[in-house]
Structure 1
Amino acid sequence: MQVKLKYKDRLGELLVMPHISPRSRLIVVRRIARICNSQWVETREYFRELIKEAELGLPFTTAKLKKIDAMRSEARSQHKATSYQIGQWIYENDDLLTKLYGFDGVCEVLEVNPVHRPEVLEYAEDQHRAIAAVAFIAGMEESASRQSGRQRPDYKDGPLFNVFMDMMIKAMKENRASMPDPTAPGGPLYGLPSYTMQADGSMVMNTPAVTVHSADGSKVVASKPGRRNGPVTPSKVATLFANNENVSRHEGGQT
Protein backbone atom coordinates (compact mmCIF):
# COMPACT_ATOMS: atom_id res chain seq x y z
CA MET A 1 0.00 0.00 0.00
CA GLN A 2 2.85 2.41 0.87
CA VAL A 3 4.47 1.81 -2.52
CA LYS A 4 1.20 2.58 -4.26
CA LEU A 5 0.77 5.79 -2.29
CA LYS A 6 4.26 7.00 -3.25
CA TYR A 7 3.65 6.01 -6.85
CA LYS A 8 0.36 7.90 -6.89
CA ASP A 9 2.04 10.97 -5.45
CA ARG A 10 4.63 10.82 -8.24
CA LEU A 11 1.88 10.53 -10.82
CA GLY A 12 0.21 13.58 -9.30
CA GLU A 13 3.46 15.52 -9.77
CA LEU A 14 3.64 14.43 -13.42
CA LEU A 15 0.05 15.48 -13.99
CA VAL A 16 0.71 19.14 -13.21
CA MET A 17 3.91 19.42 -15.24
CA PRO A 18 3.26 21.98 -18.00
CA HIS A 19 5.38 20.35 -20.72
CA ILE A 20 3.66 16.94 -20.99
CA SER A 21 1.28 16.41 -23.90
CA PRO A 22 -2.49 15.96 -23.48
CA ARG A 23 -2.06 12.32 -24.52
CA SER A 24 0.51 11.73 -21.78
CA ARG A 25 -1.75 13.52 -19.33
CA LEU A 26 -4.58 11.12 -20.21
CA ILE A 27 -2.26 8.16 -19.63
CA VAL A 28 -1.33 9.53 -16.20
CA VAL A 29 -4.97 10.23 -15.27
CA ARG A 30 -5.93 6.71 -16.26
CA ARG A 31 -3.11 5.26 -14.19
CA ILE A 32 -4.22 7.28 -11.16
CA ALA A 33 -7.78 6.01 -11.67
CA ARG A 34 -6.51 2.44 -11.75
CA ILE A 35 -4.59 2.87 -8.48
CA CYS A 36 -7.55 4.54 -6.78
CA ASN A 37 -9.86 1.70 -7.79
CA SER A 38 -7.38 -0.89 -6.55
CA GLN A 39 -6.91 0.92 -3.24
CA TRP A 40 -10.67 1.19 -2.72
CA VAL A 41 -11.14 -2.54 -3.29
CA GLU A 42 -8.48 -3.26 -0.65
CA THR A 43 -9.88 -0.67 1.76
CA ARG A 44 -13.43 -1.95 1.39
CA GLU A 45 -12.33 -5.51 2.11
CA TYR A 46 -10.30 -4.31 5.10
CA PHE A 47 -13.31 -2.64 6.71
CA ARG A 48 -15.53 -5.60 5.86
CA GLU A 49 -13.25 -7.86 7.87
CA LEU A 50 -13.15 -5.38 10.78
CA ILE A 51 -16.94 -5.21 10.87
CA LYS A 52 -17.31 -8.98 10.68
CA GLU A 53 -14.93 -9.40 13.62
CA ALA A 54 -16.60 -6.68 15.70
CA GLU A 55 -20.08 -8.09 15.11
CA LEU A 56 -19.05 -11.29 16.89
CA GLY A 57 -18.86 -9.32 20.13
CA LEU A 58 -22.27 -7.65 19.99
CA PRO A 59 -23.83 -6.06 21.98
CA PHE A 60 -20.58 -5.15 23.74
CA THR A 61 -18.93 -3.86 20.56
CA THR A 62 -21.65 -1.42 19.46
CA ALA A 63 -19.43 1.61 20.04
CA LYS A 64 -16.58 -0.03 18.16
CA LEU A 65 -18.85 -0.79 15.21
CA LYS A 66 -19.99 2.83 15.05
CA LYS A 67 -16.36 3.98 15.03
CA ILE A 68 -15.45 1.52 12.25
CA ASP A 69 -18.47 2.60 10.21
CA ALA A 70 -17.47 6.26 10.58
CA MET A 71 -13.94 5.45 9.40
CA ARG A 72 -15.31 3.51 6.44
CA SER A 73 -17.59 6.41 5.49
CA GLU A 74 -14.65 8.81 5.61
CA ALA A 75 -12.55 6.51 3.40
CA ARG A 76 -15.44 6.21 0.96
CA SER A 77 -15.85 9.98 0.81
CA GLN A 78 -12.16 10.47 0.06
CA HIS A 79 -12.26 7.85 -2.69
CA LYS A 80 -15.37 9.38 -4.27
CA ALA A 81 -13.84 12.87 -4.14
CA THR A 82 -10.79 11.66 -6.08
CA SER A 83 -12.98 9.79 -8.53
CA TYR A 84 -15.11 12.91 -9.15
CA GLN A 85 -11.98 15.00 -9.82
CA ILE A 86 -10.79 12.47 -12.39
CA GLY A 87 -14.23 12.32 -13.97
CA GLN A 88 -14.46 16.11 -14.17
CA TRP A 89 -11.09 16.31 -15.92
CA ILE A 90 -12.14 13.66 -18.44
CA TYR A 91 -15.46 15.40 -19.07
CA GLU A 92 -13.75 18.73 -19.70
CA ASN A 93 -11.03 17.30 -21.99
CA ASP A 94 -12.75 14.42 -23.81
CA ASP A 95 -13.73 16.53 -26.81
CA LEU A 96 -10.25 18.13 -27.05
CA LEU A 97 -8.41 14.79 -26.85
CA THR A 98 -10.68 13.32 -29.52
CA LYS A 99 -9.98 16.26 -31.83
CA LEU A 100 -6.22 16.10 -31.26
CA TYR A 101 -5.70 12.35 -31.64
CA GLY A 102 -8.80 11.10 -33.38
CA PHE A 103 -10.98 8.17 -32.46
CA ASP A 104 -8.29 5.58 -33.21
CA GLY A 105 -5.70 7.55 -31.24
CA VAL A 106 -7.88 7.52 -28.13
CA CYS A 107 -8.58 3.81 -28.66
CA GLU A 108 -4.83 3.16 -28.65
CA VAL A 109 -4.42 4.87 -25.28
CA LEU A 110 -7.41 3.01 -23.83
CA GLU A 111 -6.16 -0.31 -25.23
CA VAL A 112 -9.14 -1.06 -27.42
CA ASN A 113 -8.71 -4.07 -29.70
CA PRO A 114 -8.98 -2.94 -33.36
CA VAL A 115 -11.55 -5.70 -33.85
CA HIS A 116 -13.81 -4.06 -31.26
CA ARG A 117 -13.58 -0.49 -32.56
CA PRO A 118 -16.45 -0.77 -35.05
CA GLU A 119 -18.63 -1.92 -32.16
CA VAL A 120 -17.67 1.16 -30.17
CA LEU A 121 -18.66 3.38 -33.10
CA GLU A 122 -21.96 1.54 -33.31
CA TYR A 123 -22.74 2.32 -29.66
CA ALA A 124 -21.36 5.85 -29.59
CA GLU A 125 -24.01 8.55 -29.90
CA ASP A 126 -21.41 11.33 -29.70
CA GLN A 127 -18.24 10.40 -31.60
CA HIS A 128 -16.65 13.69 -30.55
CA ARG A 129 -16.23 12.26 -27.04
CA ALA A 130 -14.30 9.08 -27.69
CA ILE A 131 -13.28 8.43 -24.07
CA ALA A 132 -16.88 8.29 -22.85
CA ALA A 133 -17.86 6.19 -25.87
CA VAL A 134 -15.09 3.64 -25.29
CA ALA A 135 -14.97 3.42 -21.50
CA PHE A 136 -18.59 3.94 -20.48
CA ILE A 137 -21.04 3.53 -23.35
CA ALA A 138 -19.41 0.51 -25.02
CA GLY A 139 -17.36 -0.74 -22.05
CA MET A 140 -14.42 -1.60 -24.30
CA GLU A 141 -11.61 -0.11 -22.21
CA GLU A 142 -8.69 -2.58 -22.18
CA SER A 143 -10.57 -4.91 -24.53
CA ALA A 144 -7.24 -5.88 -26.12
CA SER A 145 -6.25 -7.65 -22.89
CA ARG A 146 -9.53 -8.37 -21.07
CA GLN A 147 -11.88 -9.45 -23.84
CA SER A 148 -11.23 -12.35 -26.13
CA GLY A 149 -13.55 -13.40 -28.91
CA ARG A 150 -14.85 -16.39 -27.00
CA GLN A 151 -14.76 -15.16 -23.42
CA ARG A 152 -16.45 -11.78 -23.32
CA PRO A 153 -17.12 -10.55 -19.75
CA ASP A 154 -20.69 -10.34 -18.48
CA TYR A 155 -20.25 -6.80 -17.17
CA LYS A 156 -18.40 -3.58 -17.97
CA ASP A 157 -15.25 -2.75 -16.05
CA GLY A 158 -12.10 -0.67 -16.23
CA PRO A 159 -10.46 2.26 -14.42
CA LEU A 160 -12.32 4.95 -16.34
CA PHE A 161 -15.61 3.04 -16.46
CA ASN A 162 -15.73 3.06 -12.65
CA VAL A 163 -15.04 6.79 -12.68
CA PHE A 164 -17.91 7.39 -15.11
CA MET A 165 -20.19 5.20 -13.00
CA ASP A 166 -19.39 7.22 -9.87
CA MET A 167 -20.15 10.42 -11.78
CA MET A 168 -23.49 9.06 -13.04
CA ILE A 169 -24.57 7.92 -9.56
CA LYS A 170 -23.64 11.34 -8.15
CA ALA A 171 -25.67 13.10 -10.86
CA MET A 172 -28.68 10.86 -10.26
CA LYS A 173 -28.61 11.51 -6.51
CA GLU A 174 -28.21 15.26 -6.82
CA ASN A 175 -30.65 15.82 -9.70
CA ARG A 176 -33.50 13.40 -9.06
CA ALA A 177 -36.11 15.83 -10.36
CA SER A 178 -34.41 16.07 -13.75
CA MET A 179 -34.22 12.31 -14.26
CA PRO A 180 -36.90 10.81 -16.53
CA ASP A 181 -39.18 8.14 -15.10
CA PRO A 182 -37.57 4.77 -16.05
CA THR A 183 -40.93 3.01 -15.75
CA ALA A 184 -42.71 5.37 -18.16
CA PRO A 185 -43.48 4.28 -21.75
CA GLY A 186 -40.21 4.16 -23.65
CA GLY A 187 -38.15 3.89 -20.45
CA PRO A 188 -35.75 1.00 -19.77
CA LEU A 189 -37.98 -0.40 -17.00
CA TYR A 190 -41.32 0.09 -18.74
CA GLY A 191 -43.55 -2.94 -18.28
CA LEU A 192 -41.98 -4.13 -15.03
CA PRO A 193 -44.39 -4.36 -12.09
CA SER A 194 -44.28 -1.59 -9.50
CA TYR A 195 -45.20 -1.81 -5.82
CA THR A 196 -46.68 0.47 -3.18
CA MET A 197 -45.78 0.19 0.52
CA GLN A 198 -48.79 -0.04 2.80
CA ALA A 199 -49.12 1.44 6.30
CA ASP A 200 -48.23 -1.90 7.87
CA GLY A 201 -45.05 -2.16 5.81
CA SER A 202 -46.36 -4.75 3.36
CA MET A 203 -45.86 -4.31 -0.37
CA VAL A 204 -48.76 -4.49 -2.81
CA MET A 205 -48.18 -4.82 -6.54
CA ASN A 206 -49.84 -2.12 -8.61
CA THR A 207 -52.04 -3.47 -11.35
CA PRO A 208 -51.40 -2.09 -14.84
CA ALA A 209 -53.54 0.65 -16.26
CA VAL A 210 -55.88 -0.40 -19.02
CA THR A 211 -57.27 1.59 -21.92
CA VAL A 212 -60.85 1.06 -23.02
CA HIS A 213 -61.50 1.91 -26.67
CA SER A 214 -65.02 2.49 -27.96
CA ALA A 215 -66.86 4.44 -30.58
CA ASP A 216 -67.12 7.30 -28.13
CA GLY A 217 -63.38 7.48 -27.57
CA SER A 218 -60.77 6.01 -25.27
CA LYS A 219 -60.46 6.09 -21.52
CA VAL A 220 -57.59 5.03 -19.26
CA VAL A 221 -58.69 3.18 -16.14
CA ALA A 222 -56.30 2.29 -13.35
CA SER A 223 -56.88 0.48 -10.08
CA LYS A 224 -55.47 1.43 -6.70
CA PRO A 225 -52.97 -0.82 -4.89
CA GLY A 226 -54.67 -3.32 -2.58
CA ARG A 227 -58.13 -2.64 -3.95
CA ARG A 228 -60.66 -4.80 -2.10
CA ASN A 229 -62.66 -5.71 -5.18
CA GLY A 230 -59.56 -6.99 -6.91
CA PRO A 231 -57.60 -5.49 -9.74
CA VAL A 232 -59.15 -3.79 -12.69
CA THR A 233 -59.28 -6.22 -15.60
CA PRO A 234 -60.37 -5.71 -19.20
CA SER A 235 -63.57 -7.68 -18.58
CA LYS A 236 -64.54 -5.44 -15.67
CA VAL A 237 -63.94 -2.12 -17.37
CA ALA A 238 -65.61 -3.21 -20.59
CA THR A 239 -68.95 -2.41 -18.99
CA LEU A 240 -67.96 1.25 -18.69
CA PHE A 241 -68.82 1.69 -22.37
CA ALA A 242 -72.05 0.53 -23.94
CA ASN A 243 -70.44 0.01 -27.33
CA ASN A 244 -67.09 -1.41 -26.31
CA GLU A 245 -64.80 -2.09 -29.27
CA ASN A 246 -61.46 -2.97 -27.69
CA VAL A 247 -59.83 -3.17 -24.30
CA SER A 248 -56.04 -3.26 -24.05
CA ARG A 249 -53.18 -2.54 -21.70
CA HIS A 250 -52.33 1.12 -21.54
CA GLU A 251 -49.51 1.94 -23.96
CA GLY A 252 -49.95 5.57 -24.71
CA GLY A 253 -53.56 5.08 -25.81
CA GLN A 254 -52.60 2.86 -28.77
CA THR A 255 -54.12 -0.51 -29.59
Structure 2
Amino acid sequence: MQKNITSLQNPLIKQIVLLQEKSRERRKTGLFIIEGLREITLALKGNYILKTILLCTEIIQKEELLKLKESSESKTEFIEITSEIYGKLAYRGSTEGVLAIARTKDLSISNWFSSGAERLPGSAREPNSDNPLILIAEAPEKPGNIGALLRTADAAGVDAVIIANPKTDLYNPNIIRSSVGCLFTNQIATGTTSEIIRFLKENNINIYCAALQASVPYHTIDFKKPSAIVVGTEATGLSEEWLENSTQNIIIPMQGEIDSMNVSVAAGILIFEGKRQRSF
Protein backbone atom coordinates (compact mmCIF):
# COMPACT_ATOMS: atom_id res chain seq x y z
CA MET A 1 0.00 0.00 0.00
CA GLN A 2 1.38 3.43 -0.98
CA LYS A 3 2.29 5.66 1.96
CA ASN A 4 1.10 9.22 2.45
CA ILE A 5 2.76 12.15 4.21
CA THR A 6 0.64 15.18 5.09
CA SER A 7 2.77 17.01 7.66
CA LEU A 8 5.76 19.29 7.09
CA GLN A 9 7.04 18.08 10.47
CA ASN A 10 7.43 14.52 9.24
CA PRO A 11 11.02 13.31 9.89
CA LEU A 12 11.49 12.27 6.25
CA ILE A 13 10.50 15.74 5.03
CA LYS A 14 12.96 17.30 7.47
CA GLN A 15 15.70 14.97 6.21
CA ILE A 16 14.97 15.92 2.60
CA VAL A 17 15.40 19.60 3.47
CA LEU A 18 18.74 18.80 5.10
CA LEU A 19 19.86 16.81 2.05
CA GLN A 20 18.96 19.74 -0.18
CA GLU A 21 20.78 22.30 1.92
CA LYS A 22 23.78 20.55 3.52
CA SER A 23 26.60 18.78 1.69
CA ARG A 24 27.67 17.32 5.03
CA GLU A 25 24.32 15.52 5.30
CA ARG A 26 24.72 14.17 1.75
CA ARG A 27 28.20 12.86 2.55
CA LYS A 28 27.11 11.37 5.87
CA THR A 29 24.09 9.52 4.51
CA GLY A 30 25.23 8.80 0.96
CA LEU A 31 21.92 10.22 -0.26
CA PHE A 32 20.88 13.20 -2.36
CA ILE A 33 17.73 14.74 -3.82
CA ILE A 34 16.64 14.78 -7.47
CA GLU A 35 13.83 17.09 -8.51
CA GLY A 36 11.92 16.70 -11.74
CA LEU A 37 10.73 13.95 -14.02
CA ARG A 38 13.40 14.50 -16.69
CA GLU A 39 16.22 14.47 -14.15
CA ILE A 40 14.89 11.36 -12.41
CA THR A 41 14.52 9.56 -15.75
CA LEU A 42 18.14 10.39 -16.63
CA ALA A 43 19.30 9.18 -13.20
CA LEU A 44 17.59 5.84 -13.83
CA LYS A 45 19.34 5.64 -17.23
CA GLY A 46 22.61 6.34 -15.44
CA ASN A 47 21.97 3.36 -13.13
CA TYR A 48 21.43 5.42 -10.00
CA ILE A 49 19.50 3.69 -7.23
CA LEU A 50 16.37 5.55 -6.18
CA LYS A 51 15.55 4.81 -2.56
CA THR A 52 12.32 6.80 -2.39
CA ILE A 53 10.13 8.68 -4.85
CA LEU A 54 7.81 11.35 -3.49
CA LEU A 55 4.96 12.43 -5.71
CA CYS A 56 2.16 14.93 -5.63
CA THR A 57 -0.77 13.33 -7.40
CA GLU A 58 -2.42 16.75 -7.78
CA ILE A 59 0.39 17.65 -10.19
CA ILE A 60 1.94 14.55 -11.75
CA GLN A 61 0.21 13.10 -14.78
CA LYS A 62 -1.12 9.57 -14.31
CA GLU A 63 0.66 8.22 -17.39
CA GLU A 64 3.97 9.69 -16.20
CA LEU A 65 3.50 8.08 -12.81
CA LEU A 66 2.91 4.70 -14.43
CA LYS A 67 6.07 5.07 -16.55
CA LEU A 68 8.07 5.97 -13.47
CA LYS A 69 6.83 2.94 -11.55
CA GLU A 70 7.62 0.67 -14.48
CA SER A 71 11.20 1.93 -14.83
CA SER A 72 11.99 1.99 -11.10
CA GLU A 73 13.31 -0.93 -9.10
CA SER A 74 10.84 -2.96 -7.08
CA LYS A 75 12.58 -1.84 -3.86
CA THR A 76 11.90 1.85 -4.56
CA GLU A 77 9.36 3.22 -2.11
CA PHE A 78 6.65 5.52 -3.47
CA ILE A 79 5.20 8.10 -1.08
CA GLU A 80 2.39 10.51 -1.85
CA ILE A 81 2.78 14.05 -0.50
CA THR A 82 0.45 17.02 -0.41
CA SER A 83 0.80 20.06 -2.68
CA GLU A 84 1.76 22.09 0.40
CA ILE A 85 4.70 19.79 1.13
CA TYR A 86 5.70 19.65 -2.52
CA GLY A 87 5.68 23.45 -2.64
CA LYS A 88 7.99 23.49 0.37
CA LEU A 89 10.45 21.01 -1.14
CA ALA A 90 10.43 21.88 -4.84
CA TYR A 91 12.68 24.63 -6.16
CA ARG A 92 10.75 24.86 -9.41
CA GLY A 93 7.01 24.69 -9.77
CA SER A 94 7.31 23.08 -13.20
CA THR A 95 8.97 19.81 -12.17
CA GLU A 96 5.94 17.62 -12.71
CA GLY A 97 5.18 16.97 -9.04
CA VAL A 98 7.93 14.44 -8.33
CA LEU A 99 11.13 14.25 -6.27
CA ALA A 100 13.42 11.35 -5.47
CA ILE A 101 15.87 10.38 -2.76
CA ALA A 102 18.78 8.68 -4.52
CA ARG A 103 21.99 6.99 -3.46
CA THR A 104 25.22 8.74 -4.35
CA LYS A 105 28.02 7.03 -6.26
CA ASP A 106 31.70 7.14 -5.38
CA LEU A 107 32.98 9.36 -8.20
CA SER A 108 36.64 9.28 -7.17
CA ILE A 109 39.07 8.48 -9.96
CA SER A 110 40.54 5.76 -7.76
CA ASN A 111 37.52 3.68 -8.81
CA TRP A 112 38.99 3.69 -12.31
CA PHE A 113 42.07 1.84 -11.01
CA SER A 114 41.98 -1.88 -11.81
CA SER A 115 44.63 -4.39 -10.73
CA GLY A 116 47.13 -1.57 -10.29
CA ALA A 117 46.56 -0.17 -13.80
CA GLU A 118 44.44 2.83 -14.66
CA ARG A 119 41.79 2.56 -17.32
CA LEU A 120 38.87 4.49 -18.71
CA PRO A 121 35.77 2.47 -17.73
CA GLY A 122 32.85 1.75 -19.97
CA SER A 123 29.50 3.43 -19.52
CA ALA A 124 26.03 3.48 -21.00
CA ARG A 125 27.46 5.68 -23.75
CA GLU A 126 30.20 3.10 -24.46
CA PRO A 127 33.09 5.56 -24.67
CA ASN A 128 36.08 4.85 -26.89
CA SER A 129 38.51 3.72 -24.20
CA ASP A 130 41.31 3.27 -26.75
CA ASN A 131 41.10 6.81 -28.12
CA PRO A 132 39.23 8.95 -25.60
CA LEU A 133 38.39 12.63 -25.70
CA ILE A 134 38.15 13.85 -22.12
CA LEU A 135 37.16 17.19 -20.62
CA ILE A 136 38.91 18.16 -17.38
CA ALA A 137 38.01 21.18 -15.25
CA GLU A 138 40.23 22.23 -12.38
CA ALA A 139 38.58 23.59 -9.25
CA PRO A 140 35.30 24.87 -10.72
CA GLU A 141 33.29 26.33 -7.88
CA LYS A 142 30.06 27.84 -9.18
CA PRO A 143 27.27 25.25 -9.58
CA GLY A 144 26.02 27.06 -12.68
CA ASN A 145 29.39 26.72 -14.39
CA ILE A 146 29.69 23.06 -13.46
CA GLY A 147 26.19 22.38 -14.73
CA ALA A 148 26.96 24.17 -18.00
CA LEU A 149 30.18 22.15 -18.41
CA LEU A 150 28.23 18.92 -17.95
CA ARG A 151 25.56 19.99 -20.46
CA THR A 152 28.24 20.89 -22.99
CA ALA A 153 30.06 17.60 -22.44
CA ASP A 154 26.82 15.68 -22.91
CA ALA A 155 25.99 17.60 -26.09
CA ALA A 156 29.44 16.87 -27.54
CA GLY A 157 29.41 13.25 -26.43
CA VAL A 158 32.86 13.35 -24.82
CA ASP A 159 34.08 10.12 -23.27
CA ALA A 160 34.49 11.46 -19.74
CA VAL A 161 34.39 14.56 -17.57
CA ILE A 162 36.90 14.77 -14.75
CA ILE A 163 36.79 17.42 -12.02
CA ALA A 164 40.19 18.14 -10.47
CA ASN A 165 40.33 19.42 -6.90
CA PRO A 166 36.55 19.91 -6.70
CA LYS A 167 35.37 22.84 -4.60
CA THR A 168 31.70 21.92 -4.75
CA ASP A 169 29.80 18.72 -3.95
CA LEU A 170 28.66 17.38 -7.33
CA TYR A 171 25.36 16.23 -5.81
CA ASN A 172 24.50 19.82 -4.93
CA PRO A 173 20.89 20.36 -6.12
CA ASN A 174 21.98 23.47 -8.01
CA ILE A 175 24.40 21.40 -10.11
CA ILE A 176 21.75 18.80 -10.88
CA ARG A 177 19.33 21.57 -11.78
CA SER A 178 21.74 23.61 -13.92
CA SER A 179 22.97 20.48 -15.70
CA VAL A 180 19.33 19.48 -16.39
CA GLY A 181 20.30 15.97 -15.30
CA CYS A 182 23.51 15.71 -17.37
CA LEU A 183 25.31 14.84 -14.14
CA PHE A 184 23.79 11.40 -14.73
CA THR A 185 24.50 11.12 -18.47
CA ASN A 186 28.26 11.76 -18.42
CA GLN A 187 31.04 9.41 -17.31
CA ILE A 188 32.31 11.49 -14.36
CA ALA A 189 35.23 11.25 -11.96
CA THR A 190 36.86 13.50 -9.40
CA GLY A 191 40.35 13.53 -7.98
CA THR A 192 43.38 15.59 -7.19
CA THR A 193 45.38 17.14 -10.00
CA SER A 194 48.23 14.70 -9.25
CA GLU A 195 45.94 11.66 -9.41
CA ILE A 196 44.43 12.76 -12.69
CA ILE A 197 47.77 13.55 -14.33
CA ARG A 198 49.01 10.12 -13.30
CA PHE A 199 45.92 8.53 -14.86
CA LEU A 200 46.40 10.44 -18.11
CA LYS A 201 50.10 9.67 -18.42
CA GLU A 202 49.74 5.97 -17.69
CA ASN A 203 47.07 5.81 -20.39
CA ASN A 204 49.17 7.81 -22.89
CA ILE A 205 46.55 10.54 -23.15
CA ASN A 206 47.80 13.90 -24.43
CA ILE A 207 47.22 16.83 -22.09
CA TYR A 208 46.12 20.10 -23.73
CA CYS A 209 45.86 22.92 -21.24
CA ALA A 210 43.90 26.07 -21.99
CA ALA A 211 46.46 28.69 -20.94
CA LEU A 212 48.03 31.88 -22.23
CA GLN A 213 51.67 30.86 -21.67
CA ALA A 214 53.61 29.11 -24.46
CA SER A 215 50.37 28.33 -26.27
CA VAL A 216 49.33 27.66 -29.85
CA PRO A 217 45.88 28.24 -31.43
CA TYR A 218 43.57 25.38 -30.46
CA HIS A 219 42.61 24.53 -34.05
CA THR A 220 46.24 23.63 -34.88
CA ILE A 221 46.22 20.69 -32.47
CA ASP A 222 45.54 17.12 -33.60
CA PHE A 223 42.72 16.02 -31.32
CA LYS A 224 42.26 12.75 -33.22
CA LYS A 225 44.69 11.08 -30.83
CA PRO A 226 43.81 10.32 -27.18
CA SER A 227 43.27 13.80 -25.75
CA ALA A 228 42.38 15.53 -22.52
CA ILE A 229 41.31 19.17 -22.76
CA VAL A 230 41.97 20.93 -19.45
CA VAL A 231 40.33 24.20 -18.42
CA GLY A 232 40.69 26.28 -15.28
CA THR A 233 38.65 29.05 -13.75
CA GLU A 234 38.37 32.41 -15.43
CA ALA A 235 39.77 34.09 -12.31
CA THR A 236 42.88 32.00 -11.62
CA GLY A 237 43.42 29.73 -14.63
CA LEU A 238 45.24 26.43 -14.22
CA SER A 239 47.71 25.50 -11.50
CA GLU A 240 51.42 25.18 -12.24
CA GLU A 241 51.22 21.40 -11.92
CA TRP A 242 49.00 21.23 -15.00
CA LEU A 243 51.20 23.61 -16.97
CA GLU A 244 54.34 21.63 -16.08
CA ASN A 245 52.76 18.40 -17.35
CA SER A 246 51.03 19.80 -20.42
CA THR A 247 51.69 18.18 -23.79
CA GLN A 248 50.90 21.56 -25.31
CA ASN A 249 49.16 24.66 -24.05
CA ILE A 250 46.37 25.91 -26.29
CA ILE A 251 44.64 29.23 -26.69
CA ILE A 252 41.41 30.51 -28.22
CA PRO A 253 42.49 33.62 -30.16
CA MET A 254 40.63 36.69 -28.88
CA GLN A 255 39.74 39.57 -31.17
CA GLY A 256 38.10 41.83 -28.61
CA GLU A 257 39.32 43.77 -25.59
CA ILE A 258 39.25 40.91 -23.07
CA ASP A 259 41.61 37.95 -22.79
CA SER A 260 39.31 35.34 -21.23
CA MET A 261 35.79 33.95 -21.44
CA ASN A 262 33.43 31.89 -19.32
CA VAL A 263 34.87 28.44 -18.65
CA SER A 264 31.89 26.55 -20.07
CA VAL A 265 31.97 28.62 -23.27
CA ALA A 266 35.71 28.03 -23.69
CA ALA A 267 35.30 24.31 -23.00
CA GLY A 268 32.53 24.10 -25.58
CA ILE A 269 34.69 25.66 -28.30
CA LEU A 270 37.60 23.32 -27.53
CA ILE A 271 35.76 20.02 -27.25
CA PHE A 272 33.59 20.65 -30.30
CA GLU A 273 36.77 21.27 -32.30
CA GLY A 274 37.97 17.88 -31.08
CA LYS A 275 34.70 16.27 -32.14
CA ARG A 276 34.81 18.08 -35.52
CA GLN A 277 38.27 16.69 -36.25
CA ARG A 278 37.17 13.19 -35.29
CA SER A 279 34.20 13.29 -37.65
CA PHE A 280 36.47 13.22 -40.70
With structure 1 as the length reference, what TM-score do the two structures score?
0.23
Larger strand percent:
2
With structure 2 as the length reference, what TM-score do the two structures score?
0.22
Larger helix percent:
1
Bigger Cα Rg: 1
